[in-house]
Structure 1
Amino acid sequence: MSTEDEGQPLLRTEPGDTRSRIIETARELFTTQTYRAASMRDIAERVGITKPSLYHHFRSKSEILASLVGPPIEQLESVVDGAAARATQAEIRQHVLGGCLDVMLAHRETMALLLRDASVYSDETTEVMSRMVRIVNRAIDLLTGPDPDWRRRVRAAQAFAAATDPVSQLADVPVDDLRAELLSGANAILDR
């Protein structure tokens, strides 16, 4: 329960607050310095806790990364699973491209980390990154449709990349404008 002192609310510290601050701080450091360059010490100092306190919340930097990328990866997986249940290829396409793009736009900084920082792909992060690769591959498979030839598979991969990769490069473009243009480009590739 919060109380007030001279008109200023005093904030109550929730048990998850430190963990959330660690994840947010890690996101900032990973995106500005790279995953590899940011250290557990850097994270602890920026959060304002000791390194042993940080290890109380997370056993490793890879565990922090997994907590950071877990929610958007789960959302992407849910979108792809939902697309697979659609009745027509047009509905599948719309659901895969629009849904994946919406998730990536909602998590722009995290997606920039996954798409632009090669250091997140290491032995310690294999499980998390492999899951992401499987989801992307499944999305591309859904975009190809039934019985695709190799050209159709190429266009599906190009379309998915066209819809999702620029999210991390165009942070200054308004979300609605960017979404519309990315979907237009991806659909143009698939319609070719």
Structure 2
Amino acid sequence: MSRHEPGDTRGRIIETARELFTTQTYRAASMRDIAERVGITKPTLYHHFRSKSEILAHLVGPPIDQLEATIDAAAARPTLAEIRHHVLGGCLDVMLTHRETMTLLLRDASVYGDETTAVMSRMVTIVNRAIELLAGPDPDWRRRVRAAQAFAAATDPVGQFADVPVDDLRAELIRGASAILDPEPIGELHPAR
């Protein structure tokens, strides 16, 4: 699934890294593995990217930029309902478009390391801003909890259901997240004794 021209070495490196990071994990994939798979020497790889973390930054940069733009656009909406609709729907659209990359960010703990702090910190900031918008103005702790639960419910399963058609998955994820944001009262739940 090449998204770059055959002569685009940097693009081939990024695509190969995506494949290796998702099949082996970020930590397990080496610069040597990437170079060999692309068909270049390791020094040539280092000519294009100084480190594996730089490759990761180029790989996740476009979807992170799109998520940030989505959150900015949602924040400009006039009502809480529209804000929520655009946060959930917009973030899901980005994540489903970049499913492999988002799966890497959401499910591979090895991407969280000292060398990736800047990239991952940016992602955490975007997620926190999305949750803040979902919670609405002046939320109490319960609304903040539901907003965090709703965002996780909408985004965490993105990489788990590759066999489900995108439109069906998107609809179900939004339905579930919306139910968390606006639950019907079900009464007080007590722990089992």
Normalised TM-score (structure 1): 0.92
Give the SS at the match of 2:26.
Answer: coil
Match of 2:87 in 1: 96
Task: Give CA-to-partner distance per residue, 1:137-192, whole Å, 9 cap, x none.
Answer: 00000000011010000000000000000001111111000000000000000011
Q: CA deviation at 1:13?
A: 5.7
Whole-angstrom CA distance in 2 between matches of 1:42 and 1:13:
19
The correspondence for 1:126, drawn from 117, 120, 123, is 117
- Percent identity over the alignment is 85
Q: AA paired with 1:126?
A: T
Q: State the partner residue of 2:64.
A: 73
Match among 26, 45, 57 for residue 54 of structure 1: 45
Q: For residue 110 of structure 1, what is the aligned residue in structure 2?
A: 101
Residue of structure 2 in register with 1:9 after alignment: none
CA distance in 2, matches of 1:102, 1:165: 13
**What is the letter of the counterpart of residue 138 of structure 1?**
R
Partner residue in 1 for 2:186: none
- Secondary structure at the aligned position of 1:37 is classed as coil
Unaligned regions of 5+ residues in structure 1, if any?
1-11
- Residue pair 2:27, 2:111 contacting (<8 A) in 1 also: yes
Unaligned runs of 5+ in 2: 184-193
Q: Distance in 1 between matches of 2:14 and 2:55?
A: 6
One-letter amino acid matched to 2:11: S
- CA–CA distance in 2 between the matches of 1:137 and 1:75? 16
CA distance in 1, matches of 2:31, 2:116: 15
Residue type matched to 1:108 in 2?
A: R
2:17 is the alignment partner of 1:26? yes
Name the residue aligned to 1:186.
177
Number of equivalent positions = 179
Q: Which TM-score applies when normalising by structure 2?
A: 0.91
CA distance in 2: counterparts of 1:72 and 1:13, whole angstroms = 22
> After the TM superposition, which segments of 4 or more aligned residues of structure 1 sit over 3 Å from their partners?
none
Q: Distance in 1 between matches of 2:6 and 2:152?
A: 41
